[in-house]
A = this chain, B = another copy of it.
Amino acid sequence: MESDQVKPDPFNRNCGSRQVIDRIGDRWSVLVVLTLADGQKRYGELAQRIDGVSQKMLTQTLRGLERDGIVTRTVHASVPPRVDYELTDLGRSLLDLVSGLEAWATTHLTEVEAARTRYDGRSER
Protein backbone atom coordinates (compact mmCIF):
# COMPACT_ATOMS: atom_id res chain seq x y z
CA MET A 1 0.00 0.00 0.00
CA GLU A 2 1.08 3.54 -0.57
CA SER A 3 2.36 2.18 -3.85
CA ASP A 4 2.14 5.60 -5.48
CA GLN A 5 4.53 6.85 -2.87
CA VAL A 6 7.56 7.01 -5.13
CA LYS A 7 10.78 8.83 -4.43
CA PRO A 8 10.43 12.59 -3.95
CA ASP A 9 10.85 13.56 -7.58
CA PRO A 10 8.65 16.59 -8.20
CA PHE A 11 8.73 15.92 -11.93
CA ASN A 12 6.97 12.61 -11.56
CA ARG A 13 3.30 13.43 -11.39
CA ASN A 14 2.61 10.34 -9.33
CA CYS A 15 4.85 11.65 -6.63
CA GLY A 16 3.45 13.41 -3.61
CA SER A 17 5.76 16.38 -3.82
CA ARG A 18 4.63 16.98 -7.38
CA GLN A 19 1.03 17.00 -6.17
CA VAL A 20 1.96 19.61 -3.61
CA ILE A 21 3.83 21.68 -6.18
CA ASP A 22 0.81 21.52 -8.45
CA ARG A 23 -1.33 23.03 -5.75
CA ILE A 24 0.97 25.78 -4.59
CA GLY A 25 1.88 26.45 -8.19
CA ASP A 26 -1.72 27.41 -8.76
CA ARG A 27 -2.34 31.10 -9.35
CA TRP A 28 -5.40 31.35 -7.15
CA SER A 29 -3.84 29.43 -4.29
CA VAL A 30 -0.90 31.82 -4.30
CA LEU A 31 -3.18 34.83 -4.24
CA VAL A 32 -5.43 33.39 -1.53
CA VAL A 33 -2.47 32.68 0.72
CA LEU A 34 -1.16 36.17 0.12
CA THR A 35 -4.52 37.69 0.95
CA LEU A 36 -4.67 35.79 4.22
CA ALA A 37 -1.24 37.10 5.18
CA ASP A 38 -2.60 39.66 7.61
CA GLY A 39 -5.03 37.47 9.50
CA GLN A 40 -8.36 35.79 8.94
CA LYS A 41 -10.76 36.96 6.30
CA ARG A 42 -14.35 36.32 5.35
CA TYR A 43 -15.29 34.66 2.11
CA GLY A 44 -16.65 37.89 0.73
CA GLU A 45 -13.52 39.81 1.61
CA LEU A 46 -11.42 37.31 -0.29
CA ALA A 47 -13.72 37.49 -3.28
CA GLN A 48 -13.49 41.26 -3.22
CA ARG A 49 -9.74 41.57 -2.79
CA ILE A 50 -8.70 38.97 -5.33
CA ASP A 51 -9.52 40.65 -8.59
CA GLY A 52 -10.91 38.42 -11.29
CA VAL A 53 -11.58 35.29 -9.27
CA SER A 54 -14.95 33.64 -9.78
CA GLN A 55 -16.95 32.35 -6.84
CA LYS A 56 -16.54 28.84 -8.10
CA MET A 57 -12.79 28.99 -8.31
CA LEU A 58 -12.50 30.75 -4.98
CA THR A 59 -14.56 28.11 -3.25
CA GLN A 60 -12.70 25.35 -5.05
CA THR A 61 -9.32 26.83 -4.17
CA LEU A 62 -10.30 27.31 -0.55
CA ARG A 63 -11.51 23.72 -0.34
CA GLY A 64 -8.24 22.49 -1.73
CA LEU A 65 -6.21 24.59 0.66
CA GLU A 66 -8.37 23.44 3.53
CA ARG A 67 -7.93 19.84 2.50
CA ASP A 68 -4.17 20.28 2.42
CA GLY A 69 -4.20 21.77 5.89
CA ILE A 70 -3.09 25.20 4.74
CA VAL A 71 -6.19 27.13 5.76
CA THR A 72 -8.93 26.58 8.32
CA ARG A 73 -12.57 27.17 7.55
CA THR A 74 -14.76 28.39 10.38
CA VAL A 75 -18.50 28.58 9.92
CA HIS A 76 -20.44 30.88 12.24
CA ALA A 77 -24.05 29.76 12.38
CA SER A 78 -25.48 33.22 12.53
CA VAL A 79 -27.61 35.61 10.54
CA PRO A 80 -26.20 36.93 8.35
CA PRO A 81 -24.04 33.86 7.81
CA ARG A 82 -20.31 34.24 8.15
CA VAL A 83 -17.42 32.02 7.11
CA ASP A 84 -13.90 32.85 8.14
CA TYR A 85 -10.73 31.54 6.55
CA GLU A 86 -7.37 31.65 8.24
CA LEU A 87 -3.89 30.33 7.60
CA THR A 88 -2.75 27.38 9.70
CA ASP A 89 0.81 27.08 10.97
CA LEU A 90 1.54 25.08 7.87
CA GLY A 91 -0.04 27.81 5.79
CA ARG A 92 2.07 30.47 7.44
CA SER A 93 5.23 28.54 6.70
CA LEU A 94 4.13 28.52 3.09
CA LEU A 95 3.34 32.20 3.24
CA ASP A 96 7.00 32.95 3.81
CA LEU A 97 7.84 31.49 0.43
CA VAL A 98 4.84 32.90 -1.35
CA SER A 99 5.44 36.41 -0.13
CA GLY A 100 8.94 35.89 -1.46
CA LEU A 101 7.37 35.40 -4.86
CA GLU A 102 5.39 38.56 -4.44
CA ALA A 103 8.53 40.46 -3.51
CA TRP A 104 10.35 38.99 -6.47
CA ALA A 105 7.55 40.06 -8.77
CA THR A 106 7.66 43.60 -7.47
CA THR A 107 11.44 43.83 -7.53
CA HIS A 108 11.95 42.44 -11.01
CA LEU A 109 8.85 43.91 -12.55
CA THR A 110 10.79 46.44 -14.57
CA GLU A 111 13.18 43.84 -15.93
CA VAL A 112 10.33 41.57 -16.93
CA GLU A 113 8.48 44.36 -18.66
CA ALA A 114 11.61 45.44 -20.45
CA ALA A 115 12.15 41.88 -21.63
CA ARG A 116 8.57 41.72 -22.86
CA THR A 117 8.91 44.91 -24.85
CA ARG A 118 12.13 43.64 -26.37
CA TYR A 119 10.55 40.30 -27.25
CA ASP A 120 7.40 41.81 -28.71
CA GLY A 121 9.30 44.34 -30.76
CA ARG A 122 11.37 41.56 -32.28
CA SER A 123 8.52 39.90 -34.15
CA GLU A 124 7.13 43.12 -35.57
CA ARG A 125 10.39 44.13 -37.13
A residues sitting closer than 8 Å to B (CB atoms) are: 8, 10-14, 16-18, 20-22, 24-27, 29-31, 34-35, 49-52, 66-70, 90, 93-94, 97, 100-102, 104-106, 108-109, 111-116, 118-120
Q: Do A16 and B90 contact each other (CB < 8 Å), given the known contacts A97-B97, A119-B67? A: no
Q: In the complex, what distance in Å separates the CA atom of A38 from the CA atom of B24? A: 22
A17 touches B67 (CB 8 A): no
Could you tell me the distance in whole angstroms from the C-beta of A48 to the nearest C-beta in chain B?
Answer: 9
Query: How many identical chains are in the complex?
Result: 2
Please provide the 4 A-B residue pairs with the shortest distance between their CB atoms, ordered closest to farther: A69-B115, A20-B105, A25-B27, A25-B30
A66 touches B112 (CB 8 A): no
Of all chain B residues, the one with the shortest Cβ separation from A113 is B16
Could you say which residues of chain B place their CB within 8 Å of the CB of A120? Answer: 67
Could you tell me the distance in whole angstroms from the C-beta of A12 to the nearest C-beta in chain B?
Answer: 5
Could you say which residues of chain B place their CB within 8 Å of the CB of A113? Answer: 16
Could you tell me the distance in whole angstroms from the C-beta of A59 to the nearest C-beta in chain B?
Answer: 15
